[in-house]
Structures are given as C-alpha cells and as structure tokens.
C-alpha cells in the first residue's frame, strides 16, 4: 500500500517537474523573443527605419550612420575607438543642429501665433463690446421713450405718446440692424512681420530670412516616407487647408494676407476670420515641422 502511494507521489512529482520544465522552457522562449526585440545589438532592431533614413539623408550623414551601424557589432567591449567616437559625435552634432533648427522655427511660429492671437483677441473684444453696448443702448432708448410716452397718454396727448413709441421702435430696429452688421465687422492693419506660411505657400519674398533653415526647408519640401500620393509635406498642408475651407482661394492677395506679407506700396487689413484661419494654419505648420523630432529620435535610437 505504502509502495503504491509512494509510486503515485513519485509519478505526480515527475509530472510536476515535467510541467515546470515545459513552462519554464516556454517562458525562456518568450523571454528570449522579447530580448531579441529590445536588444540594441540585434541587426534587425538596428536597421534604419524609413523615418530615420529620411532624417539621415536630410542631415547629409547617411553614409556615416550606416558606417556607425556596421561598426557597432564588431566591438562588444562597450568602449569606442577613435573612429566610432568621431562618427558618434558627428551624428550627435548634426542631430543637435537639426533639433535646434526645429526649435527655432517652432519658436518663430510661437511668436507669430502670439501676434495673431493678440490681434484676434483685440478685434473680438472690440466686437463684443460694441454688440453689448448696442444691445444695452437699445433697451435704454426703448425704455426712455416708453417712459416718456406714458405721461403723454395720461395727459390727453395720445398722438405724441404714439409718436414717441414709434420713434422708439424705429430706433430699436435701426440699432438691431447695426448690431447684425457688426457681427462681421472689425479689421486691423496687418502687422508683426511675414509669417512662416510664406514658405509653405512658396512665396517669393524680396529679402532673405534672418536665419537660413535648410534642413526644415528640405523636410517640408520632401515627400514623407511611405507616402503613396507623392505629395510633399507643404503640398499636403495646403491640400488639407483647402479641404477644411481654411484656404478658400489661391489668389495672391489672400496668400499674402494670410502670410502677413505686405508688399511695398500696399496697405492690407486683416479681420477676425482671416486671423482665425492663419492661427489654424500656423498650428498645422508648427506640428508638421515638429514631427521632424520623431525622425531625429529614431535616428538617435538606431545609432546609440
């Protein structure tokens, strides 16, 4: 009896050990698969993604990046030889430069946004103030003429009383019409300097910009990796604005107004609608420019 129980226990133990072995081997396989995914020395993980490749091409360092990737597996000690060190610094140098360029352009857009918001808020506040004033004025004039007409009726002058009420109604109608027309009013002189939108619209400007932005220009005029329509980032932006009705016409004057570019001898004014459209376009442009950060990050990861 005892032997039978012992055999049963032994079988159970062997079974448990076998199950544990199978489970642990499965876990090992899973863990090693995971390790393969995150191991930076793995060749697949270290191959250039399309984004990283585009960034390397824009920065003119694709050969260096490829060389750095090729050199890495030959040295497992962790220390860098002079060549690797120089290559890494070259890559870091260019990535930092591009990152600063993105920050600079994003900063410029921030400034243009601040100007646009400042103008928009001013126009909207002015409009709201006018509308509130017109509404209150309407109540006040109606009330005053109404109060004045009361005694006329009481003192046997119904014609005068009615005339006053008639005037009140007419003025009320006039003020309401003015209020309606004010809802679409309000303009200001275009100021604050030409915005980054002039570059998106590919406008010819008389003076060169204060800072040359070759990488950003190249990035914005390039077709994104894996794009099927063959359109550049700038073209895609313009297309999106047309689809969203932010850009209703391609006329030169409209593009100049949106870019806040005033040619010599002209005097442009901007309204709330135009400022709202410009703000939307500036945000879109800033977002697109800042997407270069993601490509730079990809490049840094693949060369780390």
Binding residues for another protein, rule: CB under 8 A, are 82-83, 85-86, 89-90, 92-94, 96-97, 99-101, 103-104, 106-108, 110-111, 113-114, 117-118, 121, 125, 132-133, 135-140, 142-147, 149-151, 153-154, 191-193, 210-211
Which of 74/251 has CB closer to another protein? Answer: 74
Which of 65/247 has CB closer to another protein? Answer: 65
Which of 109/247 has CB closer to another protein? Answer: 109
Which of 238/296 has CB closer to another protein? Answer: 296
Q: For residues 3 and 187, give the distance between their C-alpha atoms in angstroms, rounded to a whole number.
A: 102
Least Å distance between CB 268 and another protein? 17
Which of 104/223 has CB closer to another protein? Answer: 104
CB 283 within 8 A of CB 195: no
Least Å distance between CB 286 and another protein? 12
Give the 3-state secondary structure of residue 258. Answer: helix
Q: What is the DSSP string of 5-49?
A: HHHHHHHHHHHHHHHHHHHHHHHHHHHHHHHHHH-TT-TTTTSPP
In order of 3, 30, 149, 157, the CA distances from 16 in angstroms are 20, 21, 103, 112
Cβ-count burial of 57 within 10 angstroms (0-12 exposed, 13-18 middle, 19+ buried)?
middle
Least Å distance between CB 100 and another protein? 4
Which of 165/238 has CB closer to another protein? Answer: 165
**Nearest CA-CA partner of 209 in 232, 222, 193:** 193
**Nearest CA-CA partner of 143 in 166, 123, 168:** 168
**And the tokens for 147?**
């109060």
**And the tokens for 155?**
């003192």
**Nearest CA-CA partner of 114 in 284, 236, 278, 240:** 278
Contacts (Cβ under 8 Å, ≥6 apart) of 168: 141, 142, 144, 145, 146, 149
Least Å distance between CB 274 and another protein? 19
Least Å distance between CB 67 and another protein? 13
Least Å distance between CB 236 and another protein? 26
Which of 146/224 has CB closer to another protein? Answer: 146
Least Å distance between CB 138 and another protein? 8
């Amino acid at each position: 009896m005892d032997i039978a129980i012992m055999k049963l226990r032994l079988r159970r133990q062997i079974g448990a050990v076998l199950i544990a072995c199978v489970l642990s081997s499965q876990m090992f396989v899973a863990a090693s698969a995971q390790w393969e995914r995150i191991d930076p020395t793995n060749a697949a993980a270290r191959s250039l993604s399309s984004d990283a490749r585009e960034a390397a091409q824009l920065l003119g360092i694709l050969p260096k990046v490829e060389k750095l990737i090729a050199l890495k597996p030959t040295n497992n000690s962790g220390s860098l030889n002079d060549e690797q060190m120089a290559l890494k610094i070259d890559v870091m140098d260019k990535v930092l430069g591009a990152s600063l360029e993105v920050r600079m352009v994003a900063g410029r857009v921030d400034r243009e946004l601040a100007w646009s918001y400042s103008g928009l808020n001013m126009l909207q506040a002015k409009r709201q103030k006018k509308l509130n004033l017109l509404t209150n004025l309407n109540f006040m004039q109606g009330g005053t003429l109404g109060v004045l007409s009361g005694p006329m009726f009481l003192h046997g002058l119904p014609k005068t009383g009615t005339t006053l009420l008639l005037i009140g109604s007419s003025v009320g109608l006039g003020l309401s019409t003015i209020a309606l027309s004010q809802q679409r009013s309000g303009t200001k002189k275009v100021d604050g300097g030409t915005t980054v939108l002039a570059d998106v619209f590919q406008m010819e400007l008389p003076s060169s910009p204060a800072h040359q932005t070759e990488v950003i220009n190249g990035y914005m005029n390039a077709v994104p990796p894996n794009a099927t329509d063959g359109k550049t980032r700038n073209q895609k932006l313009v297309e999106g604005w047309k689809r969203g009705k932010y850009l209703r016409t391609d006329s030169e004057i409209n593009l100049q107004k949106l870019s806040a570019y005033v040619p010599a001898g002209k005097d442009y004014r901007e309204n709330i609608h135009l400022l709202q459209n410009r703000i939307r376009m500036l945000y879109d442009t800033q977002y697109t420019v800042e997407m270069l950060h993601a490509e730079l990050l990809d490049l840094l990861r693949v060369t780390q």
